Each structure stands twice: as structure tokens, then as C-alpha cells.
Amino acid sequence: MKKVLLSLLAAGLLSSALAAPVKLQTVPVTLEPNARLLTLSEAGITKAFPVAASRPDAVFLTEDRKVTVAFEWREGRLAPAQVADLVTQFPAVIRAQVPNVKTLRASLVQMGGAPWAQFVFTTPGQGDDVRREFLITSLQGRTLVVTIAAKTGDYSRNETVIRNLVNSVRVS
């Protein structure tokens, strides 16, 4: 992934994000990125995520290119009342699909006036554990997933920028 992101930079497929609220083009979400975040262009997303089935709709990167925040609006149905159920059901799915899960925390959080199921887990990585966070909610009856991925140390160094972005998310 690191090599892909570096090659995308060289190709000029990244741009600085704006400080004003931004409406994502393919997802009914508004958020407030800042100058310390970069936006991966559509061509960059296609190159970084070549498999269309797992390609996010929008991707932001920290300026050090160490933390990614991806937005994916899936076709799968999810009713608002089902979001809370994910907190108890989805950890088993993560453990079954992700090898060597070291830690896993599941909770229900409120963001932008909507309930979100939050899953934070770590797996072993080279030199540092890998931290992933899934935030899942119902949006117009479909599943919206926000994925935050980084090595634990890189996440810690960028946590304020990432949390500010995530806390600014408003669904419409």
C-alpha cells in the first residue's frame, strides 16, 4: 500500500483538501477536511484499489501519507434499527475474516446525529501493530462504512487530524 500511495503522489493524483465543508460526490456525506489532509482523486482510488468490488467511494490521507480514511457506501441493506445489533454481531465476523486479531473493541457511538457501530482492532505488523477502525451506519437504507487504517504509531501521531475529520461527518 505504501508503494502504491507513493507512486500516486508521483503521478500527481493527490490534492490538498479544503478547510470548508465538502460534500462527497458519490456519497451523501458532508465533512470538514483540513489542510493537513490530502484527497485521493478518482483515478488515484482506482489505482490504489484495483478491485471494483472493494473500492471505496472517497479516500483521505494524512499529509505524511501514513493514515487512510476511506468512505464506502455499500449496496447492502442496513436499517437504522440494525446498527446497534452490529456491535454484538460483527466482532465474530471480524475475528473469522481477519487473521491474528490482537485486540478488538466494539461500541455504539453517535456522530452527526446518527448512531454508528464502531470497531477498533489491531493485528500484528512489521515493526508496529496495524490499527483498523470501522465505523458503520445506515444511510438511506444502505450501509455506509468509514475505514481508518494505519500502523498504531502513525495513527497516534495523526489522531487529532483524523478524529476532527471523523467528528465532522454529517450524513444526509
Is residue 31 classed as helix, strand or coil in its secondary structure? strand
pLDDT score recorded for residue 118: 98
What does the alpha-carbon distance between residue 1 and residue 54 come to, in Å, rounded to a whole number? 14
Identify the pLDDT of residue 7. 41
Residue 92, classified by CB atoms within 10 Å of its CB into exposed (0-12), middle (13-18) or buried (19+), is: exposed
> Average pLDDT per run of 10 along the chain, which is 172 residues long?
42 47 87 88 92 92 95 94 96 96 97 94 96 97 96 97 94 86
Which pLDDT belongs to residue 19? Answer: 53
Its pTM surpasses 0.85: yes
